Structure 1
Amino acid sequence: MSGRLFRRAGGAVVKLDAAALTDLLRFRQSEFQHAEAGGVLLGRRILGSADVVIDEVTPPLDGDRRTRTTFHRTQARHQQVIDARWSESGGTCQYLGEWHTHPEPIPVPSLIDVLDWCRRLDEDRFDGESLFFLIIGIDEVRAWEGFRQPRVIVPLDPLPAEPPGGITPAS
C-alpha cells in the first residue's frame, strides 16, 4: 500500500506514510460495534520546503475512553510517546497533530471536533504555525490544517497516489 498525499495551500504537500496509513486503517469503524479511535500524528517538517511527512501515529492507549461516537485520549500517555520520539530522533520527529475515526463513509468534522482542534491550536506546544487533523472514515481519509494565527481550519485536497520516488518539494 502506498501512502496518501494531501495538497496544502501554496502547493506544498503533506505525505501520510504508507506504514502510518496502514496503522490508521486498522481502526476504521466499518462495523457497528467498532468504537471510535484516535491518537497523535508524528513526523517531520521538511527543511527548505513547506512539505510535511507523517511517519507515525499513536494508536489508542490504555486510559483512552472510546465509544461508538466519541474518543477522549489520555494526554499523559500520548505525551510520553511524543517525548520519546523527539528524544530518539534528536528533535526531528515532532508532534504534528491529531487523528480519529468516524463511523461514516466520507468523514466530516463535527462541531465538537472543530472546537477541540481550536483548543489544541491554543494550548498545545508545537513547532510551526499549524497542526494537521485527520479523520478516518469507512471509505476515505480526510485531512485539515489548522492555523494558530489567523485562527482558521482549512480542508486539504487529496492528491492522486504517491509518485515513484516520494514527494517532490513545492516549487
Structure 2
Amino acid sequence: MKYFHRDITIHLGATCLATLDANRQRTRFHREIGGQLFAQFVDSSLVVERATCVKGVRSRFSFLPHRGEEQREIDALFRQGLHYVGDWHTHPEGTPTPSGSDRTKMLEIFQQSKHQLPYMLMAIAGLEAFPDGLFLGVVEAGQIVQLWPRT
C-alpha cells in the first residue's frame, strides 16, 4: 500500500502488512498487541519493510510495550540496515482512530527519540479489511496527520 506525505512516498511492504493483518483483534477475546515499524530510505521513498511485535502489558483496550525490548530491537535491526520509523498497535474497532493516549504517547516518542526524521509513523490495525481497517498517520510538530492510501 502506498501513501504520500509532502514529497515522500510511504510504501507499506507486504511483510509489514502481513504482520499487521495477522495480529488484528478478530474476536472479543483478543487483546491489543503492537510493536515497531522499520524501514529503508530508497530515493524519495520510505519503504516500511517490517512491523515487529514486542512484549508488553496487554488488555482488550490497551497495550503498554516493554521499552527495554523495544530499544534492543531498534539496535538489532539498525545493524541490519533498517531504521525505526514509528509504532503500531491494534484496536478492537472496525475503522481505527487514535485515542487520546495514543496521540500523547506518539507525540512524546517523537519529541524524545534521537532521530533526524521530519516525522514518525503511527499505524493502528482495526477489525475491517485493509485499507479501511488501517489507520496510518504521521507524527510531526505537535500533531498527528492521517494519511490515505493511493494507487
TM-score of the two chains, using structure 1 as the length reference: 0.81
User: Pairwise mapping of residues 30-41 of structure 1 onto structure 2 (< 5 A)?
Assistant: 30-41=26-37
- Per-residue Cα deviation, 1:45-99 (whole angstroms, up to 9, x for no partner): 223x2x21111111132xx11000000001111211110111132xxx1010000
1:40 is matched by which residue type in structure 2? Answer: Q
Counterpart AA for 1:159: R
User: Which structure's CA Rg is the greater one?
Assistant: 1
Residue aligned with 1:119, SS: helix
> Which runs of 5 or more residues in structure 2 are unaligned?
none
Q: Which amino acid in the other structure matches residue 86 of structure 1?
A: F
Runs of 4+ in 1 over 6 A off after TM superposition: none
Question: Quick check: 2:89–2:125 contact (8 Å CA) kept in 1?
Answer: yes
Distance 2:115 2:57 in 1: 24
SS at match of 1:77: helix
Task: Find the aligned partners of 1:58 and 1:78 in 2 and give their Cα distance.
Answer: 9
Counterpart of 2:46 (choices 15, 29, 52) is 52
**Match status 1:145 vs 2:141:** no
Q: CA RMSD in A?
A: 1.2
The answer to whether the Cα contact below 8 Å between 1:142 and 1:158 also exists between their aligned partners in 2 is no
Unaligned runs of at least 5 residues, structure 1? 161-171
Give the whole-Å Cα distance in 1 for the aligned partners of 2:97 and 2:38.
22
- Over the matched positions of the two proteins, sequence identity in percent amounts to 27
Q: Which structure: greater strand fraction? A: 2
